[in-house]
Amino acid sequence: MNPLERAQVEDLAEMFRLMGDGNRLRILLLVLDQPRAVGDIAAAAGLSQSLVSHNLGRLRAGRLVRAERQGKQVYYVAADDHVRSVLRDMLDHIGEAETAGVVQESP
């Protein structure tokens, strides 16, 4: 593996680590298709605003979400169609496994 490929693998692994946390994944799914304010995300996810803000900062640093300012309010949305595609594809994959009767074992 050449150095560029190693760097890409490490970047990809970091993105999956960010998405691997249940709270951050829940937040990502909530902002997948529409911009939402921190308070709206917190209410929908059942999390505190400070926890949501902290996780949004990590997701933003990982380029998985972006912020859009509208007046005094800041809204967060999935960074781009690549992020949306990955999450939608994985949701479809889970749905296929469930409809195919695949038994999911816990680790």
DSSP 6-33: HHHHHHHHHHHHHHTSHHHHHHHHHTSS
Check whether 35 has a pLDDT greater than 60: yes
**And the tokens for 30?**
């909530």
105 domain residue, yes or no = no
pTM: 0.84
DSSP state of 2: -
- Is 104 part of any domain? no
Taking residues 26-37, report their average pLDDT.
97
In the block, residue with structure tokens 């939608």: 88
If one counts the domains in the chain, the total is: 1
CATH number for the domain including 64? 1.10.10.10
Average pLDDT over residues 45-49: 97
Q: Is residue 92 part of a domain?
A: yes
Res. 4 pLDDT band, cuts 50 70 90: confident
Residue 82, domain member (yes or no): yes
Mean pLDDT, residues 66-92: 96
107 within a domain of the structure (yes/no): no
